[in-house]
Amino acid sequence: MALLRAQEIANASRNAPGAEALEAKETGREHWLSSANGRLVGRPDLIHGDAVIDYKTGEVHEQGDSSVAKASYVRQLQIYAFLARERMGKWPARGVLLPMAGPPLEIDLEPAACERAASEALHLLDNYNHKIEAGGLPASLANPSPEACKWCPYQILCPAFWMAAGDSWIEQLGTAAIGGTAPAAPRPIYGGAALALLLSADNGTGPLGEVTLAPLSPEVHTSLVLVQAGMCVRVTGLARRADGTVVPTMRSVIARSEDVPNLTISDQTVPQER
């Protein structure tokens, strides 16, 4: 789907002004590009003509401002342009963000800005590696935010996520994540076809307090059968109803806190809080 949409735009751009700036033989689809001895890598969906094209499943504008492209996507395109220039010897002039629905969003790619974005990325990488070498808390390596964590599959076990996630996150995160104590084991509902789990939630995006999660399938959420009264449980990927209550989905992940692995840096072991 991504490539079909990208090709659609590529076809449309063949006759666009500047499209001849890079030769057709330089067109690349999902090719890994690298620089700085492999420290900077990227795989744009398509490079065609004078454009770097990247498909996006979600919103391409900053929240609340339909005239501004997301800064993280602009940075991504700038780094792709830097990598493309290293490979091809020419700067792409345009970046194109291609959403699933709606028109493409074009971004001018200034060489100086692209070089700056690449340099900043390498600087961040070096800082990150120095932090790992120095040891410390795993959470200190992370930079959690609703936008960064939204699609991250590690929410359930990430200490930085649970330290930072609060009720102000819920709109941008798109799903709810709560942690708390189960006052009782999950109870059967619908004649035993599903389970309901009551949580006294005191952590995460909310809702906090007494929260009932149902219906839950024991075949999907296999950890449920192990939950006993008094155990701490984390749940991520809950859908939010208009009235603020939450409901489990196929994306929901449930784990007993005691099953969440401890994360380590170097030879340090850091127990999870709950």
Binding region for ligand SF4 (CB under 6 A): 142, 144, 148-149, 152, 154-155, 158, 160-161
Least Å distance, CB 97 to ligand SF4, is 21
Of 27 and 63, which CB lies nearer to ligand SF4 in the complex structure? 63
Q: What is the 3-state secondary structure (H, E, C) of 152-198?
A: CCCHHHCHHHHHHCCHHHHHHHCCEEEEEECCCCCEEEHHHCEEEEE
State the minimum distance, in angstroms, from the CB of residue 141 to ligand SF4: 9
Which pair of tokens denotes residue 71?
Answer: 């800064």
Q: Which is nearer to ligand SF4, 32 or 154 (CB)?
A: 154
Q: Which is nearer to ligand SF4, 2 or 148 (CB)?
A: 148
What span, in angstroms and rounded, lies between the C-alpha atoms of 136 and 132? 8
Task: Choose between 13 and 155: whose C-beta lies nearer to ligand SF4.
Answer: 155
CB 163 → ligand SF4: shortest distance, Å?
A: 9
Residue 42 CB, nearest distance to ligand SF4 (Å)?
18
**Element of type H or E holding 85:** helix 71-88
